[in-house]
Homo-oligomer: A and B are copies of this chain.
Amino acid sequence: MPNIKVAILGATGTVGQRFVQLLQDHPWFEIAAVVGSERSAGRTYGEACRWVLDSEMPAAVREMTVLEDTASLDTPLVFSALPSSVAGPIEERLAAAGHIVCSNASNHRMEIDVPLLIPEVNPDHLQLIDIQRQRRGWSGAIATNPNCTSTPLTMALRPLLDKFGLRRVMIVSMQALSGAGYPGVPSYDSVDNVVPFIGGEEEKVESEPQKMLGVFRDEKVVPAGFNTSAQCNRVPVLEGHLESVAVELATQPPIEDVVAALRDFQALPQELSLPSAPGQPIVVLDAPDRPQPRRDRDTGNGMATVVGRVRACPLFGYKFVILGHNTIRGAAGGSLLNAELMVAQGYLG
């Protein structure tokens, strides 16, 4: 069993905290360094971090000193929870210096030679790493995970595209407060309210699935052909993005076949038994009023995509509800599973 030392960039933020939480007792990875801003540097993680998660801060990191300088990092694997305002160049320098960077930041997601990866969806896109190294002359590499709203959507679309073909996708999201980070949304804006706007979100949701569901051919990814329209809303929920989705397929399968395609979906992470892979990538609920964020977000330890209310749509043929845990599978957990896949595929350790 591999034992790989990892560093976490942006370790004191909410996504950074999720990395710390999920890496506690991880069978393959061990936190060797926590990196923070100038403000945190030099203090212990326990002092520097305003821990906001409901679980306790792992004792192992509490006494670690927060580093600022990334040049001295010597861990083969680096998880990036940096804000996109600063992530770009830092991640590039680390990749150039030989580190494998698994990033949750949006900066490099859409670059032609950077894998935008969901292990259940497009593991073959990892081949972009070789192109990336070639073109950039890097010994390390950057791999990214998608936006928190794109993640469960793309997971659910994978089997539908494979089995029935995909023409059009209309999605309206009801996104959790934690998606805005911390302090994030002021409570004065969220009580008894919904905010029908999240900056930059709709663009991401309309573009990222195209790349992930695209075909890797002749050293590049050919975007999938379907079209998407997204409308994103912020609702007073702590964790778990809920999505009302309508899809137009290339064929007209009966509803039960669509349910079966989702429910029976199996993928590489499950075959490889990756440590963070959920037993079932997509869980379909039968109750008429599920999934619900609070009651279903922890399905598969927050790594599964939960689907419900699969039914006929008068316009597109099919509509259903999708739920994904935005700060686990949609952020830190997604990056972590990417790293596990890279280990299993021999890119690491």
Contact = CB atoms under 8 A, between A and B. Distances in A.
B235 A174 contact: yes
Interface of A: 14, 52, 54, 168, 170, 172, 174, 177-178, 182-197, 206, 227-229, 231, 233, 235-238, 242, 244, 246, 288-295, 298, 308-309, 313-316, 319, 321
A286 to B, nearest CB: 12
Highest count of chain B CB atoms <10 Å: which of A186, A206, A238 = A186
Nearest to A242: B194
A231 B206 contact: no
A218 to B, nearest CB: 27
A288 to B, nearest CB: 5
A233 B229 contact: no
B172 A182 contact: no
12 contacts: A170-B246, A174-B235, A187-B236, A188-B238, A191-B192, A191-B236, A194-B237, A228-B315, A229-B246, A229-B314, A231-B244, A231-B321
Given A194-B242, A293-B194, A52 B189 contact: yes
A219 B231 CA distance: 41
Nearest to A239: B192
Highest count of chain B CB atoms <10 Å: which of A177, A192, A235, A242 = A192
